[in-house]
Structure 1
Amino acid sequence: MRKYVASVLLVLGFVGFSQAVDQELVKKYDRMFSQFTQENLAKSPCRVTPKQVVEMIKKGEDVVLLDIRTDAEASIVGLTYKNSMHIPMDKLFNPENLKKIPRDKKVIVICHSGARAIAATFALRSAGFDNVYALKGGIAGLADYVTPKTTLGIK
């Protein structure tokens, strides 16, 4: 009898677990990620290297650096480039924050290592922001690349 009760509880536990999946959220993610086919990704590269960002700035391109790290991360090491803005990833899709993201300039999304930036970039692109790019390697990669030699010519 104990084995029977244990088996029933085990089955009910699995059924309860499988029903705990948020199906509406799964549908939203499916719609978002279904756009990222090989063909679409090849047509629209969305990553830039630290070297490319520095070259854009040197050339005087109107580029915005969007830091999506947490407030705590940004308070320790922050961006001081004149065209930078900070919107933490968990607040990025608030309507008032989306309005702050320029649509007429290149926007480079930056996090610590690049992982959150690529996810945020994919999400922003799927929402219609075609001008956003993720910084490969994040702020850590940028810090490794930036030296007096590489930034020569930046005012």
Structure 2
Amino acid sequence: MNKSILTLIAAAALTTSAFAYDTAKAAEFNGFFSHMTQKACAESTLFVKADDVMKMLREAKPMLLLDIRTDGEASVVGLGGAGSRHVPVEHLFEKPNLDALPTDRPIVIVCYSGSRATMAAMGLKMIGIKNVQVLKGGIVALAASDTTKNAPLKDEK
């Protein structure tokens, strides 16, 4: 009998914890994701194409290219120039890095393929940073778009 009672208590405890979740966090996510209807997703400006970023660079449009790849990735192929900044995603949400993000120009987040950048952009939007876009296809797409036709012009000396 004691074994039966212990088994029932253990089963009830395991079942309860298996279905438990953070209701406050779920409500926060619901508030964020409930606006993502099919129409809103179709009209989203979250993603920006590599050719458009190259055009912005060529025309010296104000923006921040925010490279969130790892230090190792950025050491092989990095983004340079005054309009870029490297902050690995694991440090992006630290106060000094958040405080350094511009509010007066677009922030284009770059990772390898766009997956980490999408998650980072959603996180930034959830905390109230609205001027965020994701480079669709990541640095791979940017490299493919980097041609003599698209590349930013530099003064030849």
Distance in 2 (CA, whole Å) between partners of 1:88 and 1:27 is 29
* One-letter amino acid matched to 2:84: S
Is the Cα contact below 8 Å between 1:92 and 1:98 reproduced in 2?
A: yes
How far does the alpha carbon of each residue in 1:83-130 deviate from its partner, in whole angstroms, 9 at most, with x for none?
Answer: 111222232222221111111112111111011212222332343333
Match of 1:131 in 2: 131
* Aligned residue-pair number: 152
> Which TM-score applies when normalising by structure 2?
0.78
- Do residues 13 (structure 1) and 37 (structure 2) align? no
Identify unmatched segments of 5+ residues in structure 1.
none
Cα distance in structure 1, aligned partners of 2:98 and 2:34 = 22
Q: TM-score, normalised by structure 1?
A: 0.79
After superposition, residues 2-151 of structure 1 pair within 5 angstroms as 8=8, 12-19=13-20, 21-42=21-42, 44-151=44-151
Residue identity over aligned pairs, in percent, reads 35
Q: Return the alpha-carbon distance in structure 1 between the equivalents of residues 14 and 136 of structure 2.
A: 42
**Given that residues 64 and 85 in structure 1 are in contact (C-alpha distance below 8 angstroms), is that contact kept between their aligned partners in structure 2?**
yes
CA contact (8 A) 2:107 2:133 kept: yes
Asked which structure has the greater RCO (Cα within 8 Å, sep 6+), the reply is 2
Kept in 1: contact 2:64–2:107 (CA 8 A): yes
Q: What is the one-letter code of the residue matched to 2:19?
A: S
